[in-house]
A and B are shown apart, each in its own frame.
Chain A
Amino acid sequence: MKKVTDLLYITGLFIAMLPGAACKKMLSIPSNVPGQLVTGLVFSDSSTAVSGVVGMYTNGFGNDGPLSLYMSLYPALSSDEITSSFSSDFLNNALTAGSDAIPGGSTGNIWNSFYNNKLIYQANAAIEGIAASKALTASLKDQLTGECEMIRALSYFYLVNLFGPVPVATGTDYLVNGKLPRAPVDTVYAQIIRDLINAGNHLKETYPSVGRARPNKYTAMALLSRVYLYRKEWARAKALADAIINSGNYILETPDNVFVTGNQEAIWQAVSVGYFRYETSEGQTFVPNAPDIIPQYFLTTHLLDAFEPGDLRQLKWTGVNNVNGVDYFYPYKYKNRQAAQIDGRIEGEVLFRVAEQFLIRAEASIELGDLAGGAKDIDEIRGRAGLSPTTATSKDELLNAVVQERRTEFFCECGHRWLDLKRSGSINAAMSAAKGSLWPADGHAALYPIPYDQLRLNLSHGWQQNSGY
């Protein structure tokens, strides 16, 4: 009977204990699951801290990442650069906020991929985590913070240009971010400029890793000069472009080399990410998989007509398939549909290259009255393309020459054409000419609609859809 008493005692004790203090221990589980870390831990060690920043690149440049294909494809479809053998909302300038069966519509993916946890949010979280860290060296902190600021600025740059006023989240508190208004365009730009100035201070002139795969000081300056150009702050734009060109780090490569890994023209060139069988999303998407089929996307006659005879860029950067006697030209800047397909050539996504800085300096110079300086920079680009110097002389002619060179230099690349048309105010005329009745007369298609589901979630704090949608 003694045993029974003991048993009773133990059971009673066990039951009494359950809801009590000892219970806390019964609920203890490992502090995290495999492969996960809390923010504090990520930034308590230099190696995981670097991973915490590099994660933005693996996502941004990954499969159709927002920093790669999205920006080369969708704006190119919307503008007058490429067309497609099947219709799409981008191509038809027929975007509606919820036009696909996918809630959020066709622009939902673009919007979401910038704002999600792997780009802007990650930059915000990493900046906070780095600032709070006591374990990292000051120089690593500066470098990583600068990279995050660069990514954040680039993301907002695209967002503000595609969508107009957008919410500017710079922290991680969902209670705050969930109630943000659509900030006016000037406010968004102010944040971009602030980030880029800080990034310029935080980043070094040398690249933090092998090659030019992660941004340095000049990368921040390159985006900032573009931003000043867009904001018509000519002197600032020119000064930054000047500094980059004169740094001696960057030269104009031959057209064959511009997109090959290790070229000296790139200011920021991503490397291939992970396990995909291709190197760049552009190569995978634009290069047709057989010589006898109609490419998925092919160049418009408007773009083809823009090339002057003998332009090496048309020769080197476009490809052609002849199907049933019809030539279909496609973007061929990136040539590898699959990894290292051609002659062991390795390519990487180029986000910034010095050619743009020449054209920024040219445009700024012309606007500032230095027509000769502008013409000289234009001729640098034309010369590399195998073309004779520009014949333009007046300010307007020279500005048009810049527009022409930008068009043929940056076609299907990072949305340049679409953004240039918008900032110059010529979009309505250009697109009406190119798309005819598909282009809405009120020109509202120049801004993409806010994805329907996101608009809906933000209506309570006063969001309005872009007009016309």
Chain B
Amino acid sequence: MPKTAFFGRPARGSIRHLTKTLLVMKMTLFLLTVACLGVSATGTSQNISFSGKNVALKAIFDIVKTQTGYSFTYTGEVLQGAVAVTVTARDLPLEDFLAVIFRDQPIKYVIYSKTILLSRKAKNPVGFSSDEGRSDTGDPLLSNIASIPIRGLVSDESGRPLSGASVTIKKSKRSIITNAEGIFSLIVSTGDVLVFTYIGYEPVEYRITPDVVAAAQRQYNPGMNVQVITFSIVLKKSNSPLDEVRVIAYGQDTKRFSTGSISTVSSKEIGEQPVTNLFQALEGRVPGMVVTMTNGSPGSMTLMQVRGQNSLSNKPDAYSVLRNYDQPLYIIDGVPLAIQNTPIAGGLAASTLGVGLWQYQNGGSPINGINPADIESISVLKDADATSIYGSQGSNGVVLITTKRGKSGKEKVDIAVNSGPTTASRTVPMMNTQQYLEMRKEALVNSGVTANPATDPDLLVFDQQKYTNWMDKFYGGTGNRTDAHVTLSGGNESTNYLVSGGYTRETYNFPGDFADNRFSLHTSFAHASRDKHFNLDFGTDYSYDQNNSSGGGPNLFVGFTIAPNFPDLIGADGKLVWSYKGFNFNNSQGNPMDYLKQAGNVGTRTMNSHLSLRYQLFSSLSIGVNAGYGRISVKEYSSRPIATQNPMYGPVGGANFGDRNNDVINIEPQLNFTKRIGNGVLTALLGGTYKKAVMDETQISAGNYTSDALLTSIAGAGSPPIVSNQASYYKYAAGFGRINYIWENKYIINLTGNRNGSSNFGPGKQFGNFGSAGLGWILTEEKGIRDAIPFISFAKLSANYGTSGSDGVGPYQYQPNWAVGIGIDYQGVQGLNPSNPLNPVYAWSINKKINAQLDLGFFKDRVYLNVSTYRNRSIDQLVSYVEPIQTGFGYITTNAPYVVENRGVEITLSSKNIIHKDFQWATSFNIAHNANRLYSFPDIASSPYAGIYVVGKSVQSKILLPYAGVDPQTGVFQFRAKNGNIAPYANASSSFNNVGGDATEIVDLTPKFTGGINNSFTYKGFSLTLFFQFAKQRGPNYLYSIYSNYITSLAGQPLVNEPVAMLRRWQKPGDQAAIQRFVAGYYSELDFNAVAGAHYFTSSTGAYSDASYIRLKTVALSWRMPSSLLKKRFIEGCTVFVNAQNLFLITHYEVGDPETMTIFSIPPQRTIAAGLNLNF
């Protein structure tokens, strides 16, 4: 065994060794910092200038080190007998310089990597030419001790060199890392076993045979040429799920060595789903992340939440829902999404009239500008270990989206086309004419009044036989979704590229053109210099999305509730009808068809551009910068033509024009350090972020148009248009670092830190510090454990703790601002109004996160199980805190005094059930449970939230009146009062104004668990994927939708239809009914009780029910044609496929969709797309 340790330090006892290692780590960090600061003046040129007389050899070594960075390695006795040197050199190449100084020494030398190894010359050279450097027979001295420096190359199967691969001599544990060209140099002896490992590849062991040593000796060339590579090693991609490379914050890792909680979704999983919105493809795929479609209309918002809600509602009443829905940070190729996941526009997509936690979050989705086909992977970072490095932005998790890159190899063209119908998946059956008239007549009887032509035209004026299924008219249409995508890619080992263009069109069930059209272009270009020291990665995504469904806030809800015998809405001339036999439609709900004719569109241009430059300074140190620019430009137009308004009122036209730009610039310089230190690999990252986000918006509201033809012209308005503009600025600067050390592939430590500042805060409050520490232990690396449980191929325990924060408030909230009153003047003077009070005190919120997890691989990792458990506590939350209005404002931005806790368990299981040459079956399953509670809230009783939230209970709870059924005598809803009495609430109203009052039952709306199960089968060229998504939860039911809406809440009133389910009503004394009596209006005390009952019902337990479901989310069937069928030279591959989304649903949720949880919105679309994928 060679005495010379790699760093010239002999190996010692393990404890001392560890101390040493830590010392080295510290030193390295110190050096890294010093190096960064430029204090080091180390030259790295390969030439030496030095003159001196009789200089000791050791002193010369120092000079060489200083001037070239090459160091000398030797044992003490080597220098015995060395003589002083006299030399004059000016810009002499190192090799020549060394030849000079060693000419008269009893010492041989060999250069490898940046080290010059010294050994003594043989005293009696036998059969050895005195011309040392030119011997073909090798060095007998080295051969005697059987140690020889060798050089090797490590590459992957395609021949690409692997930089940073670890090479370890098994016995001595000595190891190094390959350089940028994949080359390593090491002194080995015969019989040594080298272990090659690299992230994502299967480890390879290689035994040094005498032949290898002999070969090395033959090539061995001590003074000069050490470029010869003795042998090369090819590493194969690992099949183990543990070794799949995934994107993390500022880098990559594998599950094997991770201490954090990260889930990924691959392009394959995304590609199998015929969805336009990328986020919809994530539903049920990521344990711990709830994905919610707000609406089924094209282009509408999809929300995501990681590990639960962290903040309370800023609306202080039990009826309302969370307005501030905590979402993660979204980053595409290192560039933060310019507007994050906030709505870009209103329109159809915002026409939800129901409830759900996301009621205030709907609108047009900004992610719609990203073509899912251009996405390579999505990583969801969940715990502190993974997110602390994002400091104040990572509190609610981070979603990293990575686009596709080119691959080296032959040029390829991929063409994928698919198309198919879309239909509303679950519409609400409404009453037909017969049922409707029955309801109306019964209501009149119940209210004790007779029909009157002025108020009851449905009974006295309209055709009693006519029946139109309005639901069908509005929602029953079939849309189409068509998607085409062409990709061109190719490259060689130093440069590759990818260009892809996509077109997606999704039409909609409504009559009229409400299509969403998207054109996208994705490019990627990567280049590495010949020596691989310099790397460049550049890519741009650009898209244009035109969505025609943005009319000015249409209230299509009317389409649900219009009476089934209502006269035709469109006349024979194609114009809207506004009256029928003297009945003016505006006396009821107007003509809902007008909304469908009020043109509106949103044009969204999305651009994301990233540039990454990296330079390998030393084998261990690289320097780089990531820079990115993102922009979302939204052009919005909506109109209200005269033709869509009732001519009786002398209407004029109106139009709104909006223009908004969101820009973000992100620059992140970085230093990366990777080095084998001791028996482990140390990687360190030091970086900084500068981010600037700017929004500017102009809105023009033009009115009084006298001609519909002019509606697209601002100048055509009949009165001066009202123009307003807004802007917002945000800057963020951070320094961050990460140190990761993996010792003997067994113990892992991962530390991250971030200090950052945000312009959202007032002076003195701008900066905050965040950090995390993670530890991991791979049990199966312990021999005892591995031998004891042989079927467990991998076991790892890891845990971490850390903090992240949130600066999620608007800018300038800390100063007392006044804003210009828009479009309004008083005697020519523009008014100013205060927009917020002086409020300089708020600062960061902190989320303290603990995560622990167990990773297990069974049967050579064919079965992989991950169990993660976590506890997050969100402290000093930065919220709009509710204040009474006598403060001037309903909300004040402040750090709330409460703590919200989310804790939960996430389980992921994947298994390759059958692996056969022709048939494979794989299953993956995930399930997550999150329990949310208000952990503490000092003095909640005297806070605005008294009676709304309860300490110890979920923040998504409602405190409700216990519903006590329909009174069999009166037919009115009843509730159980606090004192146990059962009464219609009208009688109990005196206690209603006291906190809580009779509302005593707490219902938690947090899903109990959510998850998904994916089964994929392949048989020869056939492949079938079935993906089920499920959730166990409670939510507002259809009765909530009905009774919370003032139009439908009075079932039985004129001209308002109701769902068929409402027929289960009370009719006569003694009835045990689910629904209270029909009433025609406010005519009697019982009517009032029914009105009040309807109102209180919405805050009772009756309005909430089980909303659990299992949905067959995705079915993907494909057949890859055998190559024998294809003309080989031309088409390389051809796949035919059928993909279906939202095929069926199993649920007890009675009416409507359990995902959107309202009946008055657009349910998720069922899409079936067939297509073809061609590769050339």
Report A's interface with B, CB cutoff 8 A.
Answer: 1, 4-5, 7-19, 23-24, 26-30, 32-39, 42, 48, 50-52, 54-59, 61-62, 87, 92, 94, 96-101, 103, 111-112, 115-118, 120-122, 124-125, 167, 169, 172-174, 177-178, 180, 209-211, 213-214, 271, 273-275, 277, 289-290, 293-294, 449, 452-461, 465, 469
Contact = CB atoms under 8 A, between A and B. Distances in A.
A18 B730 contact: no
Given A19-B734, A55-B831, A103 B688 contact: no
Given A35-B726, A38-B818, A54-B826, A5 B38 contact: yes
Contacts of A5: 38, 41-44
Interface stretch (B210-218, B539-547, B756-764, B1159-1167): B756-764
B818 A36 contact: yes
Contacts of B836: 117
A97 B993 CA distance: 7
B584 interface: yes
Q: How large is the interface on B (under 10, 10 to 19, 20 to 34, 35 or more residues)?
A: 35 or more
Contacts of A453: 316-317
Nearest to A467: B990
A194 to B, nearest CB: 18
Interface string B661-698: 00000000101000000000000001111100000000
B717 to A, nearest CB: 11
Contacts of B722: 275
A136 to B, nearest CB: 15
Nearest to A338: B650
Contacts of A177: 884, 886-888
Interface in B38-73: 38, 41-45
A12 B686 CA distance: 9
Given A4-B617, A48-B832, A94-B1088, A16 B36 contact: yes
Nearest to A176: B887
Contacts, number: 303
Contact of B671 (A12, A39, A50, A465): A12
B968 interface: no
B260 interface: no
B491 to A, nearest CB: 27
Contacts of A121: 834, 887-889
A273 B826 contact: yes
A103 B319 contact: yes
B882 A125 contact: no
Given A210-B827, A456-B946, A4 B615 contact: yes
Interface in B903-948: 941-944, 946-948
A116 B888 contact: yes
B1017 interface: no
Contacts of A52: 818, 832
A214 B839 CA distance: 32
A209 B757 CA distance: 48
A4 B44 contact: yes
Contacts of A465: 993
Interface string B731-742: 111110000000
Interface stretch (B149-157, B866-874, B1041-1049): B1041-1049
A293 B584 contact: yes
A321 B1054 CA distance: 24
B817 interface: yes
Contacts of A97: 992-993
B615 A7 contact: yes
B320 interface: yes
Contacts of A460: 941-944, 946
Given A117-B834, A117-B888, A290-B648, A457 B316 contact: yes
20 contacts: A5-B38, A8-B623, A11-B625, A15-B688, A26-B733, A28-B759, A35-B726, A36-B818, A51-B820, A117-B835, A120-B886, A125-B816, A169-B887, A177-B888, A211-B827, A274-B824, A275-B823, A293-B584, A456-B317, A456-B948
B729 interface: yes
Nearest to A15: B688
Nearest to A10: B38
B731 A29 contact: yes
B1046 A62 contact: no
Interface of B: 33, 35-38, 41-45, 315-317, 319-320, 454, 584, 615, 617, 623, 625, 648-650, 669, 671, 686-690, 703-704, 719-720, 722, 724-735, 755-759, 766-767, 811-812, 815-821, 823-827, 829-839, 882-890, 892, 941-944, 946-948, 989, 992-995, 1044-1046, 1049, 1081-1082, 1088, 1095, 1098
A186 B989 CA distance: 30
A454 B826 contact: no
Nearest to B815: A38
B764 to A, nearest CB: 11
Contacts of B316: 453, 456-457
A147 to B, nearest CB: 12
Contact of A125 (B724, B825, B834, B1095): B834
A461 B942 contact: yes
Contact of B887 (A28, A174, A277): A174
B994 to A, nearest CB: 8
Contact of B885 (A11, A51, A87, A115): A115
B731 A33 contact: no
A267 B1161 CA distance: 52
B650 to A, nearest CB: 8
Q: Lowest 7 CB-CB distances: which A-B pairs, in order?
A: A12-B36, A121-B888, A9-B38, A55-B831, A460-B942, A274-B824, A58-B831
A37 B993 contact: no
Given A101-B1095, A290-B648, A15 B811 contact: no
A434 to B, nearest CB: 18
A275 B702 CA distance: 10
